[in-house]
Amino acid sequence: MKLPTDIIEGKQKFTMVGFLADRADIVIAKSNQMMLRITPCTDYPDSIDPTNLPPKINVFVSHNSLYYEDDESDDEESRIDSAYREFQNKWFVSTPNFAYNEDRQRLFVTAYDAHVTARNSEFDLNTIKLIEFPIYESTHEHNRPITQYEFEKALIAGKVVGNNPLWPSNANDVPRGIIWRNTTTSMSLYTNIQSQTNTPTGFSYASDNRSFQRVALGFDDSEWQENFIEFEGIPIAYVPSDVFLKYEKQAASFTPEKSDANDDTLVVQSIQNTRKPIDAPSEASTDKADVSSSIRSRTTTSDKQGSFIMDFQRQTQQMGLHYDLRDLINFHTAMESDGLVILSGLSGTGKSQLVRAYAKALGLIIGDSQSSQSSKKLCFVPVRPFWADDSDLLGYADMVNNVYRPGDSGLVDTLVSANEHKDQLFIVVFDEMNLARVEHYFSQFLSVLEMPLSSRYIRLYNSQLKTRLYNSQQYPDHIAIRDNVLFVGTVNTDESTFQFSDKVLDRSNVISLHILPFNKEYKVADETAISSEQGELTTSEYRALGNQDDKKPLTQKEKSLLWDLHVTLNEEDRNLGIGWRIVHQIDSFVRNLPEIDDGVSRGEAIDLQLVQRILTKVRGSQEQLHDLLGTGKEPGKLIQVLDKYTDISTFEQSRLLLTQKTQELTLYGFTM
């Protein structure tokens, strides 16, 4: 066999997605390295004849960032069994590398940059075929569309809509569709694309008589959202062909149109709310003008985000609780930004009550009701010190009586209910969550929360046991974790608790609540001042509160600050630094930040995120941290970095925390 003319050796400029079909596809090579033979479920580009290629892609475990450690000292069968358990329910994405061996006259396809994400076990691997689409979204690159309106104008005019370095540039490799994404759950699919042109500045597309078609996809399009596959850092989406065909039929002609409310927002669809709008004040609330006047005077009725914060503060006041307004804004913004929110502080500072007030503001519970319906939507899970793995939390399959026994916490029932009611919000609170080691009993959730929404599944028991358990219909073998479930933890810091590992801190916003002065008089809101007509917020309404300022992602200067902090931390300790996950989540926090006068400014938000996401991991001995923290008289390297970016923020909270850690080093020789 000679090298086919359509094959160019080396690393290709496209991606392939596949899966590990069988245990026999795991091979231990002569070099003792483990190799996985991945079965592709996306097509090669049209410019390449697939009959010239081997049927599977070789992935060497040691050459890729698969977050799996192969113990080469173990026997082969044990190594293969372990790898199969790890990868049998994963998707693989890679950029193929073509290599031709003249001696053997064979063409090899190998991947050296493979990534994995969880795979929904309900996919039929015998028939599945994935369709891939390039993703475009708001960017601040020169002469690129910032809004969906600008994107559509450029698309119809045949102008460059953006660059996608992982999409094949050959004119024959026309996508079945392209995606413009506003948020994680709000995007539009464009079809009827006849040709593509790739220039040094990016891609443009053409359609017969410019007759592109569009279908808007939101949170309610559950089939699309559940089957939408995406890998971090790769601007390409993958969807099963049958799902694509269903939505392709719904696509229709369109005209780019700006909304009346905001010239930068495209009118995609009008959502009619059956409940009273959140920004419409009730008669009771207008009679109580003195309650939360500090917020009301600063927000307009059109500002739903600000109106919600106002109602949230009224709820805390009515419950006799007193919090700094900035803490309420910080907590709400962190909750909107996904991940795990951890409330830290002295015992008795009202951490659990704050979550209850938040649930009341969302309409999840009314008054002091403790009905079963209310408790399912606000699930408090008291953590036990003896919890060692997730079976203590989730339960187990009792094979003596052939029944699944959920944990006593009620968490599984809450998650099942959340799956049945996708547009209803649920809050899960892990009370005193550091009484046991979080990374042990919460391990599945830590992995799931960093995955794309379509891949978030918690496994309750082995799927092979499903037919043997009497209550498997009530409790399926796996449960999807959707974005209608919000996770909160409360922690105390004393000798009876465990420290958080970096794995937990990487996925969490750790918020320390401020205690207000005891000797100050505080107003208590009358219960009638809080509108009961407002009703319960749905998931889509809650998600619509945030992302109001998509045009303000992290700036280059702010990213430079994060990079300088990363370099400074990493030079001192290779285990310290800032990963892409944290950068994306800080960006999400800043985008969701409510704009309220005397609230939290952008600079203060950046400062809070440094404290809550990065500086929490700065801990250790004086020998380790001396250069980073300094001596008190001489500023450490971290303070020196902050001093370079005073035009971004004063970094008041970061400086206070670093000063505290420096004092701990001086007094105790270490900091926690």
CA 58 to chain centre: 30
What is each CA distance from 352 to 430, 432, 556, 561, in whole angstroms?
9, 9, 38, 34
In 3D space, the residue among 448, 415, 450, 418 whose CA is nearest the CA of residue 222 turns out to be 418
590 within 8 A of 605, measured Cβ to Cβ: yes
pLDDT digits (tens, 9 = 90+) for 608-626: 999 999 998 888 888 888 8
The pLDDT assigned to 573 comes to 82
CATH of 10-118 among 1.10.287, 1.20.58, 2.40.50, 1.10.3470: 2.40.50
541 within 8 A of 484, measured Cβ to Cβ: no
- What CA–CA distance (Å, rounded) separates 313 from 358? 9
Phi (first) and psi of residue 466, to 5 degrees:
-60, -40
What is the distance between the terminal CA atoms of the chain, rounded to a whole angstrom? 63
351 within 8 A of 343, measured Cβ to Cβ: yes
* Beta carbons within 8 Å of 618's beta carbon, 6+ residues apart: 569, 576, 625, 628, 629, 638, 658, 661, 671
In 3D space, the residue among 22, 263, 267, 30 whose CA is nearest the CA of residue 125 turns out to be 22
The label of the residue with tokens 């309404």 reads: 541
CB hemisphere CA count around 323 (13 angstroms): 35
- What CA–CA distance (Å, rounded) separates 589 from 642? 20
Given phi > 0 = left and psi -120 to 50 = alpha, else beta, which region is 78? alpha
Order of strands across the sheet that contains 178-183:
213-217, 186-191, 178-183, 130-137, 236-240, 229-230
Phi (first) and psi of residue 242, to 5 degrees:
-70, -35
- What CA–CA distance (Å, rounded) separates 527 from 638? 47
In 3D space, the residue among 485, 399, 393 whose CA is nearest the CA of residue 437 turns out to be 393
- Which pair of tokens denotes residue 301? 């009725």
322 within 8 A of 372, measured Cβ to Cβ: no
- What CA–CA distance (Å, rounded) separates 405 from 235? 42
Handedness of CA 283, 368, 334, 224 (dihedral sign): negative
The pLDDT assigned to 95 comes to 87
Widest Cα–Cα separation across the chain: 88
Q: Please identify every stretch of the chain with a pLDDT value under 50, giving residue numbers as ranges.
A: 260-302, 369-374, 528-529, 531-533, 548-549
The pLDDT assigned to 490 comes to 93
Q: β-strands 213-217, 186-191: how paired?
A: antiparallel
CATH of 339-515 among 1.20.120.160, 3.30.160.270, 3.40.50.300, 1.10.287.3510: 3.40.50.300
The pLDDT assigned to 521 comes to 67
489 within 8 A of 321, measured Cβ to Cβ: no
Helix/strand/coil for 275: coil
The pLDDT assigned to 496 comes to 63
* CB-based burial, 491-513: b 16+ in 10 Å, e otherwise: bbeeeebbebeeebbbbbbbbbb
The pLDDT assigned to 369 comes to 47
SS3 annotation, 142-193: CCCCCCHHHHHHHHHHCCCCECCCCCCCCCCCCCCCEEEEEECCEEEEEECC
What is each CA distance from 231 to 86, 219, 295, 334, 431, in whole angstroms?
18, 19, 41, 23, 33
The pLDDT assigned to 522 comes to 63
Given phi > 0 = left and psi -120 to 50 = alpha, else beta, which region is 577? left
Q: Which pTM does this prediction carry?
A: 0.57
The pLDDT assigned to 264 comes to 39
507 within 8 A of 339, measured Cβ to Cβ: yes
